């Protein structure tokens, strides 16, 4: 795992969430945080298309939005914890 590389977000599976969370935990530079925000944006977008009756996806959608805000505030560890709650 290298925080200089982006995680390919094609879904919001546990594997994808774990990879993004691990990258969040290792991110220390501004460029890393920009990558993490993009990954969280992708998760947010994908969960936004999930059926309304899929409660877990709706909660993850909200968590991805909050995690994105946390990364922007310089709190990637806390953002990772939000994602890990879905594993």
Number of structural domains the chain divides into: 1
Give residue 42's domain range: 29-84
State the pTM of this model: 0.94
pLDDT at 8: 97
Instruction: Please check whether residue 17 lies inside any domain of the structure.
Output: no
* Distance in angstroms (rounded) separating the CA atoms of residues 24 and 70: 11
Give the three-state DSSP class for 85: coil
Residues 10-55 pLDDT 10s? 999 999 999 999 999 999 999 999 999 999 999 999 999 988 778 8
Residue 64 lies in a domain: yes
* DSSP conformation class of 3: T
Question: 11 in a domain, yes or no?
Answer: no
């Amino acid at each position: 795992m290298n925080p200089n590389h982006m995680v390919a977000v094609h879904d919001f599976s546990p594997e994808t969430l774990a990879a993004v969370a691990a990258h969040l935990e290792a991110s220390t530079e501004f460029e890393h945080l920009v990558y993490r925000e993009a990954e969280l944006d992708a998760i947010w977008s994908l969960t936004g298309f999930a059926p309304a009756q899929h409660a877990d996806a709706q909660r993850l959608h909200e968590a991805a939005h909050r995690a994105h805000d946390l990364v922007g505030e310089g709190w990637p560890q806390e953002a990772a914890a939000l994602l890990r709650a879905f594993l």
